[in-house]
A and B are shown apart, each in its own frame.
Chain A
Amino acid sequence: MADNQKMWGELGMNLEMHDQLCAVLPGAIGDVFMSQENRPECMDYFDMVLADVHGLRPAELVEFRKNGGKVFGTFCAYVPDEVIVAADAIATGLCAGSQFWVPGGERYLPANTCPLIKAMLGARFDRTCPFYRLADVYIGENTCDGKKKAYEILGTDVPMHIMDLPQMKRPKDYLKWADEIKELKDLVEKETGNEVTAEKLAEGIKTINAKRAALQRLYDERKNLNVPISGTDTLLISQIAYYDDPKRFAAMVNKLCDELDKRVAEGVNVAEGKKRILITGTPMAIPNWKMHNLVETSGGVVVCEETCTGTRYFENQVDESGTTVDEMIQHIADRYMGINCACFTPNTGRFDDVVRLAKEFKADGVIDVNLMFCQTYDIEGRSLEERCKAEGIPFLGLETDYTDNDAQQLKTRIGAFIEMLG
């Protein structure tokens, strides 16, 4: 275990400050995950990844870089890992889900900025996350004004490449996004010295499609009336999806699903008598487990997440029929433009998704959870509520941040909502 300290030191991390994070995380993990009963055995892999979250995967990235490999840090479900993988590079999500990093970000950003963006800057500038130290280049995207401007500040400390995501879905916007993906390909080729050939890109598409298929299979298990896995455990898996090796991750999720198949056949239910909740809204980056923990200790079970750490990340596949690099890039663009983020106008596709998923997952109610100061999702919440009400789906809208301060108030509201579901 001493190797972790050595590795973190060599990465230039602030060991004293990082130790404060190490002090609180085991307790939170114990309370949120270990306290659950009747968990699937195959959660052991994900428990291990979580238990040594700043040790195991970072050690792999260190080794990869020693051998000349390049690591690209990403922040968003729109960045196509296919292109990065095709250049024999590694894409890693740069998580920003802890209150621990927020004060560090507030040194650079206005207080009325969303906690995810603050945490992003805090993790980089406080030097308390190994993933932020290990990424050679960060790939940003303009999915909100806060991130867009924060990337300018991050860019003073680390090489940044920004992808200009269109904010409408007209045919010309799909072409524009394909152009942006071509620019990403050029960057990745330049940084790695590896050409993204048609053969390599086809392989990359298959790898990431397989990962998405595994996650879809996991979510399909939750459609059963007997729920074989908790929402809290599934959220953890979705969070790990952003930074684990894609092939190993898909294999482990499929292994877990084999166990879940058996559980379903045996009628195992981890949520006996609980109300089925669909969560929609802003992303829940690791270690943000607040809402799932609150719902699942208040008489509910989360059966689906319509979020970037949920269905937006894996629904729809990249068409594998392309034969040239240009064709494949357009197919990649088409798949990613199918994600329904609140940065788009109009974004009624998201409302359709929520209604469809609520039916598919037999949700008793929808909770729309938005991070404080996330203007696009916050504004969209009203229209989403109207649509859900028109469809007869009970709806609760909540706004929160990463602090523990509002936990009891939220619990009261969630408890009342679940009680109202009958």
Chain B
Amino acid sequence: MYRTLKKSSIYAQISPTPRELSVCCGVSLLIHGEDVEQIKEIAEAEHLNYLSIDGLNNTFDNTRHKYG
């Protein structure tokens, strides 16, 4: 999925799955909201599997300084 999106010049960033979406950690793709429909079309055309596409109201803040 990641490689296909990159080939199509669609923004995708490999990232950990947010806790709100899964308790199993695992890999997710971070995508732009405006690309969702296009990504769904590409996934269907290329027979690419994914569990779900979800939106979260999270922001990245490099000055939060919380490291776990």
User: Smallest Cβ distance from A159 to chain B, in angstroms?
Assistant: 28
Taking a contact as CB atoms under 8 Å apart, the answer to whether B25 and A25 are in contact is yes
**Chain B residues closer than 8 Å to A31, beta-carbon distance:** 60-62, 64-66
**Chain A residues closer than 8 Å to B13, beta-carbon distance:** 34, 47
User: Smallest Cβ distance from A416 to chain B, in angstroms?
Assistant: 17
**Chain B residues closer than 8 Å to A293, beta-carbon distance:** 62, 65, 67
A32 in the interface (beta carbon within 8 A): yes
Taking a contact as CB atoms under 8 Å apart, the answer to whether B68 and A21 are in contact is yes
- The total of Cβ contacts below 8 Å across the A-B interface reads 114
**Chain B residues closer than 8 Å to A4, beta-carbon distance:** 24-26
User: Smallest Cβ distance from B65 to chain A, in angstroms?
Assistant: 4
A55–B13 Cα gap in the complex (Å)?
Answer: 18
Taking a contact as CB atoms under 8 Å apart, the answer to whether B26 and A1 are in contact is yes
A158–B25 Cα gap in the complex (Å)?
Answer: 27
A3–B6 Cα gap in the complex (Å)?
Answer: 27
Taking a contact as CB atoms under 8 Å apart, the answer to whether B67 and A26 are in contact is no
**Chain B residues closer than 8 Å to A21, beta-carbon distance:** 68
Taking a contact as CB atoms under 8 Å apart, the answer to whether A34 and B25 are in contact is no
A22–B63 Cα gap in the complex (Å)?
Answer: 21
**Chain A residues closer than 8 Å to B18, beta-carbon distance:** 26-27
B45 in the interface (beta carbon within 8 A): no
Q: Which of A34, A54, A404 is the one whose CB lies under 8 Å from B15?
A: A34
B: number of interface residues (CB 8 Å): 28
Taking a contact as CB atoms under 8 Å apart, the answer to whether B23 and A5 are in contact is yes
A206 in the interface (beta carbon within 8 A): no
User: Smallest Cβ distance from A169 to chain B, in angstroms?
Assistant: 36
Taking a contact as CB atoms under 8 Å apart, the answer to whether B62 and A32 are in contact is yes
Contact with A along B19-62 (1 / 0, CB 8 A): 10011111110100000000000000000000100000010111
A50 in the interface (beta carbon within 8 A): yes
Taking a contact as CB atoms under 8 Å apart, the answer to whether A51 and B61 are in contact is no
Taking a contact as CB atoms under 8 Å apart, the answer to whether B28 and A404 are in contact is no
User: Smallest Cβ distance from A287 to chain B, in angstroms?
Assistant: 6
Taking a contact as CB atoms under 8 Å apart, the answer to whether B16 and A52 are in contact is yes
Taking a contact as CB atoms under 8 Å apart, the answer to whether A50 and B51 are in contact is no
Among B17, B22, B30, B65, residue most surrounded by chain A Cβ atoms (within 10 Å): B65
A376-422 with Cβ < 8 A to chain B = 402, 404, 407-408, 411
Residue of B nearest to A29 (CB): B16
**Chain A residues closer than 8 Å to B51, beta-carbon distance:** 1
Taking a contact as CB atoms under 8 Å apart, the answer to whether A22 and B23 are in contact is yes
A141–B65 Cα gap in the complex (Å)?
Answer: 32
A74 in the interface (beta carbon within 8 A): no
Contact with B along A269-298 (1 / 0, CB 8 A): 000000000000000000111100110010
Chain B residues within CB distance 8 Å of chain A: 2, 6, 13-19, 22-28, 30, 51, 58, 60-68
Q: 16 other contacts beyond A24-B19, A100-B68, with CB at 8 A cut-off?
A: A4-B24, A21-B68, A25-B16, A26-B15, A26-B17, A26-B19, A28-B67, A30-B58, A30-B60, A31-B65, A44-B14, A55-B25, A288-B67, A293-B62, A297-B63, A408-B65
